Structure 1
Amino acid sequence: MRVLIAPDSFSGTLTALQAAEAMADGWRRVRPADELVLVPMSDGGEGLIDVVGHAQPSATWHTVEVADARGMATEAVWLELPDGTAVVETARACGLHTLPEDGRDPLRATTYGVGQLLGDVAASGCRRVVIGLGGSATVDCGAGMVSAMTGHALRRADGNGVKVGGRWVKESASLRPHVRPELGDVVIASDVTNPLLGSDGAAAVFGPQKGADAAGVAELEEAIAACAEVLERDLPGGPWRDRPGAGAAGGLGFALMALTGATPRSGAEVVAELVGLDVQRADVVVTGEGSIDAQTSSGKAPAFVATTARDAGAVTVGIGGRVHPAGTAGFDRVGELGEEGLTRAAGRLADVAAEVASSF
């Protein structure tokens, strides 16, 4: 039997590659004769370039010094594929996972480092970019990225540059004429379809997840609305605020559409293409993530993998740290790690994979 193992990461415990290896270890205990194919997955969030780099080992890794979410110097990497495509992971520059819980503040966090990464991509000569937007610490409407890519052309009414951070983008008054780096075709890989503003927008939905209280959410909503007015007025092709995905990464999706003409696509679908996910010859497809729940069906990698596998006639297995009934509709069989998955994630995942394998 041919078994395709294609999980996303188990947030906080296992990377996608670690999860795939643990699943394979458990499966082999029970069914050593099966052919196992490991294809770690992502939906565009944290771990994106790791899974792509694993699938394409001849890719070139580039290291750049950039500003992190707090504006402090850090090193971030991006990936250049053999066909000239650049893969950029927003979380490498301004990831929420890089900050301690008491240091998470979207009123101050910036996407400036993402702009620096994209500037390095442009300088390399790559003319197609895939940028994953998941896992950011920011709600700054992508203003930091815009400033970094345009030579600080985003200005206040007094002519000075807009300070970085979600709180300060409300001072945006104009985007001056500028020459920005040429990126060519830009694809946004994201599972988020939220608009920029309103009850389903960047501030309301993602602000609390990134550390904002009710007052902070209101301030961020006002700030990104002001920034959006300026970008939609001073850049051609808009408006973008209501387009699906404009609210991704705290409005970075909006800014990328406005500044680079980026096209949003399902992150899992884009990653599947980059890693060569092939379910056609699989008898069983095993996937999973930290929590299989109602959000799983909203563009998450395990749901994409399961749907693609079912369409190809394979049996689908979903394994999660936690499993909620609302997320299990796309799977023929499910397994749950439970509380033990928090203390010995790899071992428990292998055990559950072995239990599932024994049912075949």
Structure 2
Amino acid sequence: MSVLTRSPRPPRTGVRRTRQCRAPSGGRPASSIARPSLEASGLKVIIAPDGFGGTLSAGDAAAAIAAGWRRERPDDAIVEIPLSDGGEGLLDVVVRDGDRWMASEVAGPLGRPVEAAWLLRDGHTAIIESARACGLALVPEERRNPLRTTTYGVGQLLGAAHAAGATRILVGLGGSATVDGGAGALTGLGFRITVEDGSGLKVGAEDLHRVAAADRGWCPDLDGIDVRLLSDVTTTLDRSAQVFGPQKGATPEMVDELAHALMRWADVAERDLADGTRHRDTPGAGAAGGLGFALTCGLGAQYEPGAERIATLAGFDAALVDADVVITGEGRLDETSGAGKVIGTVREHCRTAGLPLLGVVGQLGEGGPTLDDIEEAAPDGPGAEPVHEVSAAAQRLAGRR
């Protein structure tokens, strides 16, 4: 299957092919809650972590925790349900029997071709992990510059999903290398975005301050396509550059430039694509450097809490029905780990189910949600063997039961 898109100023690559493919292959308690005794053998243990900050994927973290727990409690039945809030690892978390792994060659964040996997479920629902097309992990640290990076490939993935027959598209927004306001994604999908002299806007954010007009150009007819955006981010567009720019390589001068350009783009996109509706102030509009904003303006996309929706897709609640204890985790537990994040979501589900919740985390910061017991894997930061660190922490945690 081939999907062709055109734009006034495309990068060097397009969606050249889409194909079905094979699946990618010293603790301390955090609260005064009385910790339940887990001394009985044969317990059902649910292990449901997020990824560990680029060190371990959610799946690798779940496997490491399971291995450590088994060494101490070999009679327990362990169910691994790695989770995500919409960023890196989304597809590996939600894939289930019957899903088709697809692969499309698209423009990566630097405009060079990358092969991005996505899922097609039941022939009608596509699941896209935007980080596979514009992710920070695809850009070497020395080349991170959000004035140059683009979401163009995300638009190409949306086009590929539409061409494959999807009528519902779920898009995970986390982990991007971009602050282009999603203009690149719309261009990759076929929208025509121009500057004052009528020529096409260059991809990236460097010329975004020059944007003058936008129309649907060569975009396919997407009426009736339901696009849902999965993200834990509540940042509005006006704060996107300040909040996310520095982690993507922006200097203070770049942040100011990006902030100005995003407001110029918001004026144009809301006027020309959204009938004047003000989307820039919607919580989540700043997700993935404004990608959420563009997809709401151009496609009428709707936001959904990422961690909550993904927990449902992964079958988390069903697994809790006869569980005895749940273990979660992430790279750093702090004040940002609550509402909307994986640990906060797992905690709420455990409260509803009346289940104890334990945690294995890389580091303990301040102000994180309270769990029944927590073990730090690497208090001084991840070492050379993060799998071993996390596994050993899980064993220590199990040893206290």
- TM band (smaller chain): over 0.9
Displacement of 1:269 in angstroms is 0.7
Give distance in 2, aligned partners of 1:171 and 1:24: 52
- State whether structure 2 residue 167 is matched by structure 1 residue 141: no
- The answer to whether the Cα contact below 8 Å between 1:193 and 1:248 also exists between their aligned partners in 2 is yes
- The answer to whether the Cα contact below 8 Å between 1:267 and 1:299 also exists between their aligned partners in 2 is yes
Q: How much identity, in percent, do the aligned residues show?
A: 46
- State whether structure 2 residue 315 is matched by structure 1 residue 273: no
Give distance in 1, aligned partners of 2:393 and 2:215: 57
- State whether structure 2 residue 244 is matched by structure 1 residue 203: no
Match of 2:57 among 5, 8, 15: 15
Match of 2:259 among 221, 227, 249: 221
Name 1:290's counterpart in structure 2.
331
Displacement of 1:121 in angstroms is 0.5
Distance 1:289 1:81, change over 3 A: same
Give distance in 2, aligned partners of 1:65 and 1:340: 36
Q: Give the SS at the match of 1:26.
A: helix
- State whether structure 2 residue 370 is matched by structure 1 residue 330: yes
Question: Which of 243-252 and 12-21 deviates more?
Answer: 12-21
Give distance in 2, aligned partners of 1:335 and 1:84: 42
- State whether structure 2 residue 331 is matched by structure 1 residue 304: no
Q: Give the SS at the match of 1:342.
A: coil
Give distance in 2, aligned partners of 1:236 and 1:326: 39
Distance 1:57 1:342, change over 3 A: farther
Give the TM-score, by structure 2 length. 0.85
Aligned residue type for 2:82: P
Give distance in 2, aligned partners of 1:353 and 1:204: 37
- The answer to whether the Cα contact below 8 Å between 2:232 and 2:305 also exists between their aligned partners in 1 is yes
Match of 1:235 among 273, 278, 281: 273
- State whether structure 2 residue 272 is matched by structure 1 residue 247: no
Aligned residue type for 1:141: G
- The answer to whether the Cα contact below 8 Å between 2:123 and 2:165 also exists between their aligned partners in 1 is no
- The answer to whether the Cα contact below 8 Å between 1:292 and 1:319 also exists between their aligned partners in 2 is no
Aligned ranges 1:1-360 → 2 under 5 Å = 1-53=43-95, 56-82=96-122, 84-151=124-191, 153-181=192-220, 182=222, 184-197=225-238, 201-236=239-274, 238-278=277-317, 279-327=320-368, 329-338=369-378, 339=380, 341-360=382-401
Total equivalences in the alignment: 353
Displacement of 1:340 in angstroms is 7.1
Give distance in 2, aligned partners of 1:136 and 1:75: 16
- The answer to whether the Cα contact below 8 Å between 2:240 and 2:289 also exists between their aligned partners in 1 is yes
Displacement of 1:11 in angstroms is 2.2
- The answer to whether the Cα contact below 8 Å between 2:87 and 2:175 also exists between their aligned partners in 1 is yes
Displacement of 1:179 in angstroms is 4.9
Give distance in 2, aligned partners of 1:150 and 1:13: 36
- The answer to whether the Cα contact below 8 Å between 1:341 and 1:349 also exists between their aligned partners in 2 is no
Displacement of 1:189 in angstroms is 0.5
- The answer to whether the Cα contact below 8 Å between 1:307 and 1:330 also exists between their aligned partners in 2 is no
Give distance in 2, aligned partners of 1:325 and 1:31: 30
Give distance in 2, aligned partners of 1:358 and 1:83: 46
Give distance in 2, aligned partners of 1:83 and 1:346: 37
Displacement of 1:83 in angstroms is 6.2
CA RMSD of aligned residues (A): 1.4
Give distance in 1, aligned partners of 2:292 and 2:112: 23
Q: Give the SS at the match of 2:55.
A: coil
Displacement of 1:4 in angstroms is 0.5
Give the TM-score, by structure 1 length. 0.95
Give distance in 2, aligned partners of 1:125 and 1:330: 44
Q: Give deviations 1:321-350, integer Å, cap 9, x for gaps.
A: 1111411x3311111011474221111211
